[in-house]
């Protein structure tokens, strides 16, 4: 197949972009029904994409692009358990984690769904014991604190879900997260709690990750310093991993290990056993509801025609913004404080998946791949970076996310919150012309400063309430958006070779820092000097 940018459909899209003047003011004026027409519902989510810079022809061409790029074929290959993660030769089956019990999904000829349910049942039995105070610590005390130790995919999903679903959590069970190898993270997470009431979840697919192992050893030492008995590990440590051997080596009884599989990528694992902290917080029934939300979006993605397929449409419009309108970044703006960690979660999902510059065949790419994803909850962002989105020189695509019902009893404030969401997307799309600014009596010298060009594209996503179900559906939506974009860009969305080099160098440098002298340093002159300076000045145990 010719290179993406040389295909007639890509050229047709480029020509279509060049040929048109698509200010959103004009598009809305030309079609009074536009706000109803460009909308869609799926798995409890309503999408309004009318404020995107697209028309029927743009959508027709984009849908053709998806068809010609073989998105449906690739999706079906993923769902069949084919090893579509080509560089790691792995199947990609996060959809199996939320499959219906009677579904059959095979990897290498064996059905993986029964194993998924078996682990879920073990997680549920364990979570129930901890939540009900039945699982006691070594000294017989009830567990009051749970500390999840993990990083990347073994941290970002669990933290995000815990924050998102706090309203559904058992409030007397405090859940904390430690990820950074910076000891400050562990120190602050444990300084005000007692080992006899604390349960550590060591969450690591490989059980070899430097940061997680360093924190897990720190946790072990912290707990045993007080409990003074190796046998305490059994009551205060559980593992979530695919590596039973390493778990046992660390001293955790594999009876207290919850497994998953190599076909679950780290950043696609929050609904596997990696979600144990989530289940401890919200309970097995709510966890099931979250899986059902994921599954509902999976089914929509699998069955809906592309023109009415929410992940496909959002992926295509995102690609239009990135590759044709030149939007280098994608802001995610949840008008829900509980979703404050959602942008950070999405950063890993999207950028680790699609931040690639070679095709599946290893050819260099000459088009942009993943946008830079970022965001903060509204309304806080409005008092910070929105200035640039409204009046800066760069085009920023925005996804607004909101809910009809509040989870707090402060309903009037919820109305204010949502008023802000609607106001922002309106202001971004339509702006304010110089004539409008003048008509307000603005002195001429100030007019240019008060003009808003508008034509800033955004999606608005609305659901009834932030619940485990709607959160699951939302995460699955973005998982599939990421998949569709990766399929069109012809990249491996499921590997992450770009994180390797830094890891290797860090190991080498850690040994050099610990060495008796710096004579053997053989990096470039900058790195050598930095390491020398650090070795000469590091503080040791200053208190």
Nearer to ligand G6Q, 344 or 463 (CB): 344
> In degrees, to the nearest 5, what angle opens at C-alpha 503 toward C-alphas 499 and 506?
145
Decide if 435 is catalytic. no
Active site residue 383: yes
Minimum Å distance from CB 372 to ligand G6Q?
Answer: 18
Question: Do β-strands 110-111 and 106-107 pair in parallel, antiparallel, or remain unpaired?
Answer: antiparallel
Q: Are 314 and 459 in contact (CB under 8 A)?
A: yes
Close Cβ partners of 199 (under 8 Å, ≥ 6 residues apart): 130, 135, 137, 143, 145, 146, 147, 235, 236, 237, 238
- Shortest distance (Å) from residue 175 CB to ligand G6Q: 18
Report the residue number, 266 or 468, with the smaller CB distance to ligand G6Q: 266
Q: What is d(CA 400, CA 292) in angstroms, rounded to the nearest whole number?
A: 23
Q: Which helix (H) or strand (E) holds 381?
A: none
Catalytic entry in 383, 444, 500, 542: 383
Based on the residue annotation, tell me whether 230 is a catalytic residue of this protein: no
- Per the rule left: phi > 0, alpha: psi between -120 and 50, beta: everything else, 202 is beta
**Chain residues that interact with ligand G6Q, rule: CB under 6 A:** 151-154, 204-206, 209, 212, 265-267, 352, 496
User: Between 150 and 378, whose beta carbon lies closer to ligand G6Q?
Assistant: 150
State whether residue 464 is helix, strand or coil: coil
Least distance in angstroms from the C-beta of 154 to ligand G6Q: 4
**Distance separating alpha carbons of residues 510 and 97, to the nearest angstrom:** 38
Q: Between 262 and 368, name the residue whose CB sits nearer to ligand G6Q.
A: 262
CA 155 to chain centre: 11
Provide the minimum distance between the beta carbon of 503 and ligand G6Q in the complex, in angstroms, as a whole number: 9
CA geometry: angle 425, 431, 437, nearest 5 deg: 140
Residue 518: exposure state from Cβ atoms within 10 A (0-12, 13-18, ≥19): middle
Compute the distance between CA of residue 40 and CA of residue 36 in angstroms, rounded to an integer.
9
Q: Which runs of consecutive H residues, i.e. helices, occur in 304-378? A: 310-319, 342-347, 353-354
Which residue, among 498, 221, 211, has the nearest Cα to 369 in the 3D structure? 498
* Nearest approach, Cβ of residue 365 and ligand G6Q (Å): 21
Please give the sequence-ordered ranges of beta strands (E in DSSP) within 1-62, or none if there are none.
39-42, 45-48
By C-beta, is 212 or 460 nearer to ligand G6Q?
A: 212
To 10 degrees, what angle do helices 468-489 and 71-79 make? Answer: 120
Q: How many CB atoms lie within 10 A of CB 170?
A: 15
Q: Could you say which of 163, 352, 479, 512 is catalytic?
A: 352
If the CB atoms of residues 58 and 179 are measured against ligand G6Q, the closer one turns out to be 179
Contact 482, 353 (CB under 8 A): yes
Of residues 205 and 220, the one with the C-beta less far from ligand G6Q: 205
Catalytic residue numbers read 352, 383, 503
């Amino acid at each position: 197949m010719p290179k993406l940018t040389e295909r007639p459909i890509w050229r047709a899209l480029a020509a279509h972009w060049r040929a048109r003047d698509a200010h959103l003011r004009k598009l809305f004026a030309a079609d009074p029904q536009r706000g109803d027409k460009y909308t869609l519902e799926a798995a409890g989510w309503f999408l309004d994409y009318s404020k995107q810079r697209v028309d029927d022809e743009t959508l027709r061409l984009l849908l053709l692009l998806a068809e010609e790029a073989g998105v449906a074929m690739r999706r079906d290959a993923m769902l069949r358990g084919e090893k579509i993660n080509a560089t790691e030769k792995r199947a990609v089956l996060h959809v199996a984690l939320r499959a219906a019990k009677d579904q059959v999904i095979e990897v290498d000829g064996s059905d993986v769904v029964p194993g998924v349910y078996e682990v879920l049942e073990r997680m549920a039995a364990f979570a129930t014991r901890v939540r009900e105070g039945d699982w006691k610590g070594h000294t017989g005390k009830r567990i009051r604190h749970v500390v999840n130790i993990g990083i990347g995919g073994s941290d970002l999903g669990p933290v995000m879900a815990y924050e998102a679903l706090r309203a559904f959590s058992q409030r007397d069970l405090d859940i904390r997260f430690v990820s950074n190898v910076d000891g400050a993270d562990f120190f602050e997470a444990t300084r005000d709690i007692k080992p006899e009431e604390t349960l550590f979840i060591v969450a690591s697919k490989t059980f070899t990750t430097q940061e997680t192992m360093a924190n897990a050893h720190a946790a072990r030492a912290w707990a045993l310093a007080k409990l003074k008995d190796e046998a305490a590990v059994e009551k205060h440590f559980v593992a979530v991993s695919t590596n039973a051997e390493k778990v046992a080596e660390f001293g955790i009884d594999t009876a207290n290990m919850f497994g998953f599989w190599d076909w679950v990528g780290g950043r696609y694992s929050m609904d596997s056993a990696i979600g144990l902290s989530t289940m401890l917080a919200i309970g097995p029934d709510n966890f099931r509801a979250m899986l059902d939300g994921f599954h509902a979006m999976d089914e929509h993605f699998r069955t809906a025609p592309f023109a009415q397929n929410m992940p496909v449409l959002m992926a295509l419009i995102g690609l239009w913004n990135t590759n044709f309108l030149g939007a280098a970044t994608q802001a995610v703006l949840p008008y829900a404080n509980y979703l404050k960690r959602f942008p950070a979660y999405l950063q890993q999902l999207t950028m680790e998946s699609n931040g690639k510059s070679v095709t599946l065949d290893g050819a260099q790419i000459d088009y942009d791949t993943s946008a830079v994803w970022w965001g903060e909850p509204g309304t806080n962002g409005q008092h910070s970076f929105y200035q640039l989105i409204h009046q800066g020189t760069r085009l920023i695509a925005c996804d607004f996310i909101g809910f009809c019902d509040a989870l707090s009893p402060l309903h009037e404030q919820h109305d204010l919150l949502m008023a802000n969401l609607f106001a922002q997307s309106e202001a971004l799309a339509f702006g304010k012309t110089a004539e409008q600014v003048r008509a307000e009596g603005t002195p001429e010298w100030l007019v240019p400063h008060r003009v808003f060009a508008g034509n800033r594209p955004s999606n608005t996503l609305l659901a009834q309430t932030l619940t485990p179900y709607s959160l699951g559906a939302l995460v699955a939506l973005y998982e599939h958006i990421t998949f569709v974009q990766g399929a069109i860009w012809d990249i491996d969305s499921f590997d992450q070779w770009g994180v390797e080099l830094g890891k290797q160098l860090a190991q080498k440098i850690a040994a050099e820092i610990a060495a008796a002298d710096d004579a053997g340093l053989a990096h470039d002159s900058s790195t050598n000097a930095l390491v020398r300076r650090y070795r000469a000045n590091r503080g040791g145990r200053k208190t």
